[in-house]
């Protein structure tokens, strides 16, 4: 394979990448890393082929042959990945020529491990769908979201063409943005550099790359000063004084056109930082990055760490080839995480159980999105999101998988004197407890996901009991559909400016709060769990709150002994927090509607219990009633507490703690 320039991902003596861009050619196999634009790399490739042909006594390539060489080429970018602590090869595919991009991908995999090859342009639906259908969501180049990531993005985006690195580069479009400060710097450069830079700007601002995007454009996009202003600049035809005068006129026009909030060009200026990062990470007319999975909230999506997946062609299940690499590098922890054994076993279960699957993507959730603190740090992911496309369904379905909290290993570690059989029985009992708890919540009116099922995989014991290490045991995971909505605690601040939005939200939260209080939802330290990420708001066609579903009822029936009045103050927090943080225009009305809905639901549940007392009392009659905390005992105590509580007095107790309603 012919190479012009340095090998891809080659580093200099300081450890920095020697080349930041490359072009891979497929008609005649080869790679160019020399030159600083893809346009110049294609020209260099044609020139090199013609030199080779001349040396062989062959005629130069025809125009048609030159065009064929250029058309069967793919843009590459090389960048450092802080997450992987390695350099990445980023493929910038033509959305309308994805087979060509995958052909380039196959060629690159002969030079670089597949896990270090990712794809840009994922905002484009064609690119995204092509990767998703291959079970390769993990190869979509992630867009920075945190402040530190955005700052690093800006620093890493500085590029040069032939002279100084005065531009900011968008890898998705190939456009280099020229800012006002950078243009001022041009004026301070030494005369030879000054002239060379203006010549470069004048030339490349009028060129478009192979995707139709400008080689150089003005920041901010949409600025009244545009790149067309450089069209009449002819540095080669002007004397030094004439060129300086032309530059001064352009600088003055540029300065007057930039909005005042963007004049301070540094990452401490949040407006400038965010606008520049938006220009560097977006593609015109593209879908927002957080919509890579249709209907999934951006907060949720950004926490997914995608793992290697599977695609099905005909009747053949094709696991991602990267799964083979841990056999070569068994001590590489990041590679082993990408090829997560749990993820592969989950995929395998779905392939065995479901016919007609086209592809499966799977990712782990790196941290809880709820406010409550984890009970203990997890050594490996326990929550996964699964994207499954079946042939007879128009869209892929999303599922959330959560591994059993108290599995056999946890019981073996906690009870050193217990044998494996007893631990197995206790682990199975916990599964029953989870489903009993779910049924109890539904009986008392909690809106939960329609269906929860279980799956199981084998794992090897690695706990504290050395005599058992290496033995296999079963571990269970719970499967539910992903609820397409927004968690109540993550609603965008701008939504609270709409009084009608607030009215509907207040009614939903008040209703849910009553049920939450009845079932005693709390953590192990008896802190109330509510409005912390599990309550999902589903909107109607007009964008207004329509339903509330509790995606995870963890902690229900934890507080089953204390009088409900002891935690009444906690249920004022959903009102107080919003009033303080969002300054709702109808905060008092929000509070009153919340309380009305709370009282209405509490009385309704009391009435349903009174009218159907036998149905409630005997629902778990077949279970053992153990005062040490069996579910049947908890159920009995919760019902007694419900029947004996004064709904009006309880509502008043909450009201006394709502600041907007108290003098």
Query: Same domain for 507 and 433?
Result: no
Tell whether the torsion through CA atoms of 442, 447, 453 and 455 is positive or negative.
negative
Query: Same domain for 277 and 356?
Result: no
Mention every residue, 6+ apart, whose C-beta is less than 8 A from residue 223: 257, 258
pLDDT tens per residue, range 535-592: 999 999 999 999 999 999 999 999 999 999 999 999 999 999 999 998 899 999 999 9
Q: Among candidates 153, 148, 396, 172, which has minimal Cα distance to 292?
A: 396
Query: Same domain for 324 and 413?
Result: yes
pLDDT at 79: 84
Of 442, 466, 481, the residue that ends a domain is: 481
SS3 59: coil
Of 447, 481, 515, the residue that ends a domain is: 481
Q: Give the span between the Cα atoms of 505 and 545, in whole angstroms.
A: 6
Give the DSSP per-residue string, 134-175: TT-GGGBPPPP-SHHHHHHHHHHTEE-SSS---EEE-TTT--
The number of domains in the chain is 4
Give the DSSP per-residue string, 508-550: HHHHHHHHHHHTT-B-TT--B--SSSSEEEEE-TTSSEEEEEE
Please check whether residue 79 is in contact with residue 87, taking contact to mean a CB–CB distance below 8 angstroms: yes
* Cis peptide bond prior to 37, omega within 30° of 0: no
Query: Same domain for 335 and 253?
Result: no
Q: Give the span between the Cα atoms of 418 and 278, in whole angstroms.
A: 57
Task: Look up tokens 């044609």; give the residue.
Answer: 46
Residue 292 inside a domain? The answer is: no
CA distances from 167 to 186, 201, 555, 605, 613 (A): 11, 10, 53, 64, 73
Residue 164 inside a domain? The answer is: yes
Q: Give the span between the Cα atoms of 42 and 69, in whole angstroms.
A: 9
Query: Same domain for 377 and 473?
Result: yes
Query: Same domain for 491 and 596?
Result: yes
Q: Give the span between the Cα atoms of 174 and 92, in whole angstroms.
A: 9
Please check whether residue 195 is in contact with residue 234, taking contact to mean a CB–CB distance below 8 angstroms: no
pLDDT at 370: 55
CA distances from 593 to 411, 488, 543, 655 (A): 46, 16, 20, 11
* Torsion-angle region of 225 (φ positive above 0: left; ψ -120 to 50: alpha; else: beta): beta
Under-70 pLDDT residues of the chain: 82-84, 142-146, 283-303, 366-380
Q: Give the span between the Cα atoms of 126 and 109, in whole angstroms.
A: 22
The C-alpha angle 460, 461, 466, rounded to 5 degrees, equals 135
Through-space distance between the first and last CA atoms of the chain, rounded to whole angstroms: 80
Residue 126 inside a domain? The answer is: no
Residue 453 inside a domain? The answer is: yes
Give the per-residue SS3 of 451-489.
CEEEEEEEEECCCCCHHHCCCEEEEEEEEEECCCCEEHH
Task: Look up tokens 């909450």; give the residue.
Answer: 654
pLDDT at 288: 40
Residue 372 inside a domain? The answer is: yes
Residue 315 inside a domain? The answer is: yes
Tell whether the torsion through CA atoms of 260, 265, 270 and 276 is positive or negative.
positive
Q: What residues form DSSP beta bridges with 480?
A: 400, 452
Return the percent helix, strand and coil in the chain, to nearest 5.
45, 20, 40
Please check whether residue 107 is in contact with residue 29, taking contact to mean a CB–CB distance below 8 angstroms: yes
Task: Look up tokens 């005649």; give the residue.
Answer: 28
Tokens of 553: 């009822």
**Residues of the domain holding 50:** 2-119
pLDDT tens per residue, range 233-249: 999 999 999 999 999 99
C-alpha 400, offset from chain centre: 15
Residue 290 inside a domain? The answer is: no
Q: Give the span between the Cα atoms of 454 and 646, in whole angstroms.
A: 39
Query: Same domain for 543 and 631?
Result: yes
Tell whether the torsion through CA atoms of 614, 617, 623 and 627 is positive or negative.
negative
Query: Same domain for 522 and 642?
Result: yes
Q: Give the span between the Cα atoms of 623 and 59, in whole angstroms.
A: 89
Query: Same domain for 237 and 315?
Result: no
Q: Give the span between the Cα atoms of 658 and 638, in whole angstroms.
A: 26
Query: Same domain for 491 and 533?
Result: yes
pLDDT at 429: 85
Query: Same domain for 266 and 331?
Result: no
Please check whether residue 69 is in contact with residue 49, taking contact to mean a CB–CB distance below 8 angstroms: yes
Query: Same domain for 493 and 561?
Result: yes
C-alpha 597, offset from chain centre: 34
Q: Give the span between the Cα atoms of 510 and 529, in whole angstroms.
A: 14
Q: What residues form DSSP beta bridges with 476?
A: 456
Tokens of 325: 């690499």
Query: What CATH number is given to the structural domain containing 491?
Result: 1.10.1070
Task: Look up tokens 């690195």; give the residue.
Answer: 165
The C-alpha angle 352, 356, 361, rounded to 5 degrees, equals 75
User: Which strands make up the sheet holding 21-25, listed edge to edge?
Assistant: 2-4, 30-32, 21-25, 73-81, 86-92, 117-119
Of 281, 314, 339, the residue that ends a domain is: 281
pLDDT at 286: 39
Residue 128 inside a domain? The answer is: no
Q: Among candidates 565, 643, 640, which has minimal Cα distance to 602?
A: 643
């Amino acid at each position: 394979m012919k190479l012009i320039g340095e090998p891809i991902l080659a580093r200099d003596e300081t450890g920095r990448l020697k080349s930041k861009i490359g072009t891979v050619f497929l008609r005649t196999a080869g790679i160019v890393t020399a030159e600083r634009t893809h346009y110049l790399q294609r020209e260099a490739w044609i020139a090199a082929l013609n030199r080779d042909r001349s040396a062989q006594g062959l005629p130069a390539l025809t125009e048609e042959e030159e065009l064929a060489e250029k058309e069967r080429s793919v843009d590459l970018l090389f960048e450092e990945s802080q997450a992987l602590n390695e350099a990445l090869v980023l493929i910038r595919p033509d959305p309308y020529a994805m087979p060509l991009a995958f052909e380039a991908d196959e060629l690159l995999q002969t030079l670089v491990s597949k896990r270090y090859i990712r794809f840009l342009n994922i905002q484009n639906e064609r690119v995204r769908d092509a990767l998703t259908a291959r079970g390769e969501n993990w190869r979509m180049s992630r867009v920075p979201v945190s402040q530190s990531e955005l700052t690093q993005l800006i620093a890493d985006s500085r590029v040069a063409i032939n002279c100084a690195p005065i531009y900011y580069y968008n890898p998705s479009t190939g456009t280099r943005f020229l800012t006002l400060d950078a243009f001022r710097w041009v004026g301070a450069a030494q005369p030879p550099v000054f002239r060379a830079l203006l010549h470069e700007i004048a030339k490349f601002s009028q060129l478009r790359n192979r995707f139709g995007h400008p080689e150089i454009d003005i920041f901010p996009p949409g600025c009244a000063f545009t790149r067309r202003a450089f069209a009449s600049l002819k540095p080669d035809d002007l004397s030094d004084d004439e060129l300086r005068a032309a530059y001064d006129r352009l600088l003055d026009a540029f300065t007057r056109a930039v909005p005042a909030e963007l004049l301070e060009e540094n990452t401490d200026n949040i407006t400038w930082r965010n606008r520049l990062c938006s220009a560097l990470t977006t593609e015109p007319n593209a879908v927002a990055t957080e919509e890579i999975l249709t209907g999934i909230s951006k907060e949720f999506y950004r926490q997914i760490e995608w793992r290697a997946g599977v695609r099905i062609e005909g009747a053949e299940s094709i696991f991602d080839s990267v799964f083979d690499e841990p056999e070569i590098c068994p001590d590489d922890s990041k590679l082993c995480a990408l090829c997560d054994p749990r993820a592969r076993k989950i995929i395998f279960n779905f392939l065995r159980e479901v016919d007609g699957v086209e592809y499966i993507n799977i990712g782990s959730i790196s941290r809880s999105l709820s406010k409550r603190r984890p009970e203990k740090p997890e050594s490996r992911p326990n929550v996964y999101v699964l994207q499954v496309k079946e042939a007879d369904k128009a869209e892929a379905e999303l599922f959330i998988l959560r591994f059993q909290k108290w599995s056999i290993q946890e019981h073996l570690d906690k009870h050193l004197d217990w044998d494996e059989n007893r631990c197995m029985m206790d682990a199975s009992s916990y599964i029953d407890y989870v489903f009993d708890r779910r049924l109890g919540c539904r009986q008392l009116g909690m809106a939960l996901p329609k269906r929860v099922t279980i799956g199981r995989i084998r794992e090897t014991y690695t706990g504290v009991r050395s005599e058992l290490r290496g033995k296999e045991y079963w571990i269970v995971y719970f499967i539910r559909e992903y609820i397409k909505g927004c968690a109540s605690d993550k609603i965008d601040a701008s939504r609270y400016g709409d009084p009608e939005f607030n009215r509907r939200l207040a009614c939903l939260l008040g209703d849910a709060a009553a049920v939450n209080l009845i079932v005693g939802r709390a953590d192990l330290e008896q802190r109330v769990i509510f409005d912390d990420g599990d309550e999902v708001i589903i909107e109607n066609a007009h964008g207004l709150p329509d339903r509330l579903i509790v995606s995870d009822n963890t902690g229900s029936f934890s507080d089953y002994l204390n009088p409900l009045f002891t935690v009444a103050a906690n249920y004022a927090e959903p009102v107080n927090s919003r009033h303080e943080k969002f300054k709702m225009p109808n905060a008092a009305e929000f509070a009153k509607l919340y309380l009305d809905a709370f009282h209405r639901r509490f009385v309704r549940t009391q009435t349903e219990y009174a009218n159907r007392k036998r149905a409630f009392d005997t629902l778990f009659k077949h279970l053992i009633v153990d005062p040490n905390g069996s579910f049947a005992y908890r159920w009995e105590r919760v019902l007694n507490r419900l029947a004996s509580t004064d709904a009006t007095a309880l509502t008043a107790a909450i009201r006394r703690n709502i600041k907007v309603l108290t003098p």
